[in-house]
Each structure stands twice: as structure tokens, then as C-alpha cells.
Amino acid sequence: MLLSRDIKIQGEDVDGWGGQVLATDIFETDGTWRKGSLMFDHVQVYNCSQKDAYHSGMRWEGAMGGYSRVSNSTVHSGLDWGVMIWDSNNVELLSNTIVGFRAIGMNLDKFRNCTIDGNFIGDVKGRGIEFIDMTVDKEACVAYSSYRTPTTGTPSYDITFTNNIAAGCIFAGFVAPGHECDDVNQVSFRDNIAHSAGGPDTGYGLYTYANPAHNVQKCFEVSHFTAYKTTASCAVSFVNTLDHRAHHFTCIDGELGMSFSTGGSEKDEVVMSLTDSAFYGETKSEDCPQGGDCSCVKKTAFVNFQNMNDDKDLHPTMASSLPIYLSLIHI
């Protein structure tokens, strides 16, 4: 993977306080609206994030009036998040590489009319903070409208999120919403791939949830996703609905297979369906690090399909909530 580009933006390496690329709106004292906009193509952003400050290497925050497009670029090797779009509109991220960050690779929240297509997000590690008691960090390669409101997620509108790859992830490749039932042409989350996800009691390809913008009490649907080599479920859910549907999934060489659950309330009857999907136990790529022992573990296609009365946060902050697929009264 080539990370270098002819145009390079490099942050200083002083006490973990790297630079950042920021697009935001401001209002002048005379009321003039300055609309933040960013146009990059084939640009390298290196060592640009600020350690433990929630300032990503490239971020849109409060950029609501302008239009931005970043394509064929790399954002890599920082000490905090990679890319962030918060409280912003009209952003396109196309065919970029975002690697080498901590806790979160891409954080999207309260954003609208955005297209995220063909990006690679990977090599996202934990921050290594020693928390007290059973506290754990909020992590994922991609947090899609899930980080700031982890109990329900944040409503998202007019989003295209397609053909992205998340690899080498802590906790999950994607934490992302499903879609409205019977929407066969939806592109809000479609044809994305996760692989090589791991972590203590984690390692999900996709942790999916109901978009609060949709009424899913009667029906929830998620579809068109692939995951391979995950140490936990290739896909997991905890959705308060009476009808949980999934289709066009491919799970390969995962330890725990698929685990879809309804929850959040008592229900006399629920329907859970899975169609047009495939599961494979092994691949030609052996789990044998060079010079190390092979990792040989049992593989399963399904862990459980069930209704639970409790629920789980999208980014748990207590170790007692892990793993996701086990029931535990929400803390």
C-alpha cells in the first residue's frame, strides 16, 4: 500500500501534539457566513492528530454550509483518531486510505448529505490507557453515527456509505446502522467489507443497530455485507424490533459466526430471518504468522438468534457488557 503523495502535510512530533486539517464554518461580526470547504486530491496527511484530545488528523466540525471532496489521498500515522465528520454536511470521501491511528479510524456523527465510498480504514489500535475498575475505551475502525449517542445511535439522513474496507480493527470493523425494510436500492450501508478484527471479547466485523431516523419497532433490516477472519461474530446486533431481517451476508473464517438479537423489551413473539447468505469455515490464507505457531480454533456459522430483555451500548464502556452477544442487564 503506497502512502506517499506528491503533496504532503506533516504535523510536528512534539509531545503527541501533531497538526490537524480542519474545515469549519464561522460567522464574522457583521454576520457574514464563512462556509468551510476542503478540496484534496492525491494529498498525503501524515502525523496529524492530537493525542487523547479527540482531534483527528482530518476533520470537519460545524462545516454545514460548504462542500468538500477528498479523493485518492492518504491520512496516516497519528496518535488519535484518523478522520472525523461531526455536525457537518456535503462531504465526499472517495478512494482514500486512512491507517495507523488509535481507538477510532473514522468517526461520523450528526452529518448529512455525505458520500463515503471506496475508502480503506485500517490498523486502528487501542490507546493503551489503564482505566480504573472495569472501564473500557470506545473503539472501532468506523463509528458511523454511534459514538456520541451510544445507547441508540444518532439519526442519519441522505448518506451514501458503500464499498469501504475496514481491516486490522480493535472492537469492530464497522458500528453502523441498518436500513428500512424492503428498501432494495438502499446505499446507506452497502457492499462494505471488514476483516482481521480482534480484541479481548471483541472482534466484530459489523455491530449493526437501528437508525433512529427510522421506525423499526415493527421491522428492521440489514444487508449486503462481508466479513472474514474476525475473532468474534462476523455480524452482531441488539435491535428492539418484532421483525429482524438480514440478507446478502458473507462470513468467512470467523471464530463465532453471526449473532443477531432483538432486545430492549419483553416480546411474546419475534421473527428473525436470514436469506441469500453464505458461510465458509476456512480460507486458503492460513493463520500462521511468519516464524510463529498457527492459530487453530473452532469455527462456527451461528452463535445465537434470540430475543433478550436487556440491551447493550454501541460502544460499551464497561467490560461487563462484553461480549455483545451475551445477555446482561444494561449497566
Lowest mean pLDDT: which of 63-67, 109-113, 278-282?
278-282
Question: Could you tell me which of 212, 103, 95 has the C-alpha nearest to residue 164?
Answer: 95
Rounded to whole angstroms, how far apart are CA atoms 71 and 92? Answer: 8
Average pLDDT estimate for 7-14: 88
Helix H or strand E encompassing 230: strand 220-230
CB 57 within 8 A of CB 78: yes
Average pLDDT estimate for 222-244: 94
Q: Specify the 3-state DSSP secondary structure of 321.
A: helix
Average pLDDT estimate for 87-112: 98
At 329, the pLDDT band (50, 70, 90 cuts) reads: very low
CB 178 within 8 A of CB 203: no
Average pLDDT estimate for 203-212: 96
Domain map (residue ranges) of the chain: 103-321
Rounded to whole angstroms, how far apart are CA atoms 60 and 196? Answer: 28
Average pLDDT estimate for 37-46: 97
At 310, the pLDDT band (50, 70, 90 cuts) reads: confident
Confidence at residue 297, expressed as pLDDT on a 0 to 100 scale: 75
Question: Could you tell me which of 82, 86, 248 has the C-alpha nearest to residue 168?
Answer: 82
pLDDT above 80: residue 74: yes
pLDDT in tens, 125-165: 999 888 888 899 999 999 999 999 999 999 999 999 999 99
pLDDT above 80: residue 205: yes
- Output the average pLDDT for the chain: 91
Confidence at residue 134, expressed as pLDDT on a 0 to 100 scale: 85
Q: Please give the angle made by the CA atoms of 165, 128 and 131, to the nearest 5 degrees.
A: 120
CB 257 within 8 A of CB 233: yes
DSSP track, 253-291? S-SS-EEEEE-SS--S--EEEEES-EEES--SS-S--TT
Cα R_g (the chain), whole angstroms: 20
Burial of 118 (0-12, 13-18, 19+ CB in 10 A): middle
